[in-house]
Structure 1
Amino acid sequence: MRATDLGITIGRFDTGPRNAITDVEGVLVGHTTVVADDVRSGVTAVVPEALTTWRTTLPAGLAVGNGHGKLIGATQIDEMGAIETPILLTSTLSAYRVADALVTYMLNLPEHHDTITLNPVVGETNDGFLSDIRSRPIREEHVVAAIESAGREVVEGCVGAGTGTVALGYKGGIGTASRVVDVAGETRTVGALVQSNFGGTLTAAGVRMPAQELLATTPPEPDGNSCMIVVATDAPLDARQLQRVARRAVYAMARVGARYSNSSGDYAIAFGSHGAPPADSALNEIFEGTMDAVEEALLNSLFTAETTYGYRGRAAHAVPTSRYSQP
């Protein structure tokens, strides 16, 4: 189930046709899921088509909620206000192998035949509760498959980088959503994709759903809880404005019960298309739409996830959505 299947409506704006980050024109998503023996892991690719066909940069902004993470490429996004590659999400200790594979992939593109410097962007969360994280299972072929399989339909839940994640005491995963908003008199789309793996108490549209009360077993409380959020928009925002959008994405985690713990790596990257940026006063709806889309994406990441058994016989249980009652 997605949040809308439970009758949960977040905010006042309409969604895009897919209610996904891919409602933003030119944005694709692909996954590679790796499940074998003690491994429950994978990689998810958010692919702006422009960066694999004809552009070398897109404007972007970064927000850090809590910086206990290994977000590769973060300082250059912050300094230069741009991304140069698709944004890949994976497992903590596989992030470096994924970054190397991403560089190889990009250098082989015609647009980069003379490139001598490149900033790969790879985010991660720690899936070590359900997966043998020390084995670093993600390989170059997994990265290439995720990028090249990217399309408009987005699978959610226990897939790709969300295969082994745990959030709010339940099985977490990948989630996505979108909103259609007005920016300076123009209809624009903002979409979000999340990799949920953080602690706290699940709250859905104001209803608390504590795992310790709703599950018949003790909920997992793994170390290294984190969340990666990617926001895309077709609004022509500049890097500074996209950084402000990214901050709102991190704020939205609080709506679903995040506790922003000491060991959490909570990051948001927002990217958009080039164009003449609107005045800041025109951004109110995109701020609001961003928070709504992220909140719903986070809920979708849990509601679409399935109970998963993994490393050392550990289990992360799905949210018992039958227990949800609208306020």
Structure 2
Amino acid sequence: VKKEKNDNLSILKKSPYIQYNAKSQTKEKKPTLKELFTKNLYLQNEEKMEIVLSGQYEEALDLIYEADASNLYPILVGPPGIGKTTLCRYYAQTRAEITGNDSFEWITFDESTKPAHLVGSFNPALTIQKGFSFDAFNPGPLVKSMLNGGVFLANEINRATEYTQNSLLEPLEEKMLSIPHIGRIKASPGFFFIGAMNPSELVGTHRLGEALKDRFNVWIELDYPDKKTEMKIIEHNNPYYKIDESILEKIYLIVNRTRTHHQIQAPASLRSGIALARLTGVAQVKDKSQDPNQILKDMSRNVLFGAIQPKPGVKVKDVINNIISQVLG
């Protein structure tokens, strides 16, 4: 038990994801929350994204460029976890390098999203002092994007209610938006609206209204990537704990099997493959003598347990064991 504890401490100390301070036992002044907030304030123009651009992702990026150049609005449709949001963020980054405008706003919709979350709201205290003026107004992400002429991503747009969906009709058709008590604004040149949605048959989604569907001119369908691309993505997202090509292929086969198994209705996404690669790599660093196949078997049970949804009446553990048996024996 003591050896196992030391092994766990060792991998934590060596982990690139954890900031280990050998002097942490000494009494040092801890930073305040405000200092930590200032230090960790996210600035999107300071982060340079790198993604795997091959297969369907390269084609989708080309279509987004073409839609933007044509003053048309695209929408990406595909299952959860295939990189729709990441692709849009990457596009906003590359567009900023071309135009010099790094304005990028996005919101992930759900049942509780209201038009005010997009437009913004008035600060009650300032409204009492200054009335319903722009000085008392906290602009929402859509207003910011329209005024800056930037990119706006409506993520999981078909999880929004029809009431909230309808609030997008005017910005998409007229490039204008009404702000209560202030007036109507017109989008600055360069405003670009991108939608992203999950397949309509998934639980928690709403039917996209016909009027809203008509505003999207370019429909980009994405699915789970081909084997070569998915293995590249898994490897790209596991930079610190390298694994053998043979194990990487087995990880792909396990994840891909969840998408074809007759007893599964919601399969594993790319994130499951990335998790398996990292966990397997860490376990190999911890104990180099352990059989990689056994490690993968153990990790698969932990990762897939919450990553898949079996059909009614089917036990998730039985499905996982069946997949492990088929792929790893």
With normalisation by structure 1, the TM-score equals: 0.25
* Structure with the higher fraction of residues in helix conformation: 2
When Rg is computed on C-alpha atoms for both structures, the one with the higher figure is: 2
* Structure with the higher fraction of residues in strand conformation: 1
